[in-house]
């Protein structure tokens, strides 16, 4: 099976500081891959290189076999749609916003959406449950509703790869679950390939098929694979410098991470601390 996204040996520096070093991984059709790592490890930078907003010093990215540097913005937008972490709240309606997703498919000098464009936008508004908000302005709806509208807009691009940059970071637990359940359903029903940056390790473990854990110290991929192989106590201690306990989620059996309050539990024999580790 050919990968949808192929990232090979990406290297990126910002003002002499190495952000990404020799990053390589692939995403195959229908996979849900989450990129995780501590603040400042280059997750968003990696997403920006995949969206061609910034260019890596060396390395190559291929989308469905096409080298990224050879694709125009328009051609790339037909393959890849993105849901940003923050959305600029313009005064347009949700319907107008979602219909903008058809822009990459407009002919030259086309000024109006075709009937087909409108039908596609309506379909994804229904799927994401934003039809009741269709005539509301996007600067007047809640953060969670805006995120759903943004997903509808991205789906209206009918992309091969859906990229989401921390889509749940400002949301309450209801909207977090709603959005991730929706992405999972879409992945299953539409065979969508998903690449998502997530801060919350438990959410990443629960919903993704594979994880890519980035290491801030050297800019490299620390490990990649299924959540139960990537999310180990040692890996988190090394990458995040934080002690945790990991146990299987009683319902899904996926790894579930518990933070250890070091001061409150310092006499607990179940918690070991390396002698050379700073407090």
Give the interface with another protein as residue ranges (CB under 8 A). Answer: 51, 53-54, 72-78, 80-82, 84, 87-93, 96-97, 100-101, 103-104, 106, 109, 111-113, 115, 118, 139, 157
Closest approach, Cβ 251 to another protein, in A, equals 36
Residue 196 CA to residue 179 CA, distance in Å, equals 12
8 Å CB contact between 274 and 253: no
Closest approach, Cβ 16 to another protein, in A, equals 16
Which of 92, 131 has the CB closer to another protein? 92
> To the nearest 10°, the Cα dihedral for 135, 139, 145, 151?
90
Find the helix or strand (DSSP H, E) in which 41 lies.
none
Residue 120 CA to residue 36 CA, distance in Å, equals 32
Which of 114, 185 has the CB closer to another protein? 114
Which of 84, 246 has the CB closer to another protein? 84
Which of 89, 144 has the CB closer to another protein? 89
Closest approach, Cβ 97 to another protein, in A, equals 8
Which of 76, 214 has the CB closer to another protein? 76
Closest approach, Cβ 25 to another protein, in A, equals 21
Collect contacts of 167-172 with beta carbons under 8 A, ≥24 apart: 167/83, 167/85, 167/196, 168/198, 168/200, 168/203, 169/85, 169/199, 170/86, 170/143, 171/143, 171/144, 171/147, 172/144
Closest approach, Cβ 173 to another protein, in A, equals 26
Closest approach, Cβ 87 to another protein, in A, equals 7
8 Å CB contact between 231 and 246: yes
Which of 93, 224 has the CB closer to another protein? 93
What is the CB neighbour count within 10 angstroms for residue 226? 14
């Amino acid at each position: 099976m050919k990968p949808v996204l192929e990232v090979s040996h990406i290297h990126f520096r910002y003002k002499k500081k190495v952000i990404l070093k020799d990053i390589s991984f692939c995403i195959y059709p229908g996979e849900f891959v989450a990129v995780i790592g501590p603040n400042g490890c280059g997750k968003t930078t990696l997403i920006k290189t995949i969206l061609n907003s910034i260019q890596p010093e060396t390395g190559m990215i291929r989308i469905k076999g096409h080298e990224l540097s050879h694709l125009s913005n328009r051609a790339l937008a037909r393959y890849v749609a993105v849901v940003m972490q923050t959305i600029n709240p313009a005064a347009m309606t949700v319907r107008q916003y979602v219909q903008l997703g058809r822009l990459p498919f407009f002919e030259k000098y086309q000024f109006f959406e075709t009937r087909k464009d409108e039908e596609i936008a309506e379909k994804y508004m229904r799927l994401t449950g934003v039809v009741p908000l269709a005539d509301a302005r996007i600067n007047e709806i809640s953060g969670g509703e805006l995120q759903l509208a943004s997903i509808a807009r991205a789906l209206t691009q009918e992309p091969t790869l859906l990229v989401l940059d921390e889509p749940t970071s400002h949301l309450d637990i209801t909207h977090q679950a709603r959005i991730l359940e929706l992405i999972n359903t879409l992945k299953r029903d539409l065979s969508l390939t998903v690449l998502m940056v997530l801060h919350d390790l438990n959410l990443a473990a629960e919903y993704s098929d594979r994880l890519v854990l980035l290491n801030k110290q050297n800019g490299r991929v620390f490990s990649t694979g299924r959540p139960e192989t990537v999310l180990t106590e040692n890996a988190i201690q090394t990458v995040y410098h934080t002690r945790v306990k990991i146990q299987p989620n009683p319902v899904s059996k996926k790894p579930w991470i518990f933070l250890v309050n070091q001061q409150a539990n310092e006499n607990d024999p179940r918690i070991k601390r390396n002698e050379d580790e700073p407090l």
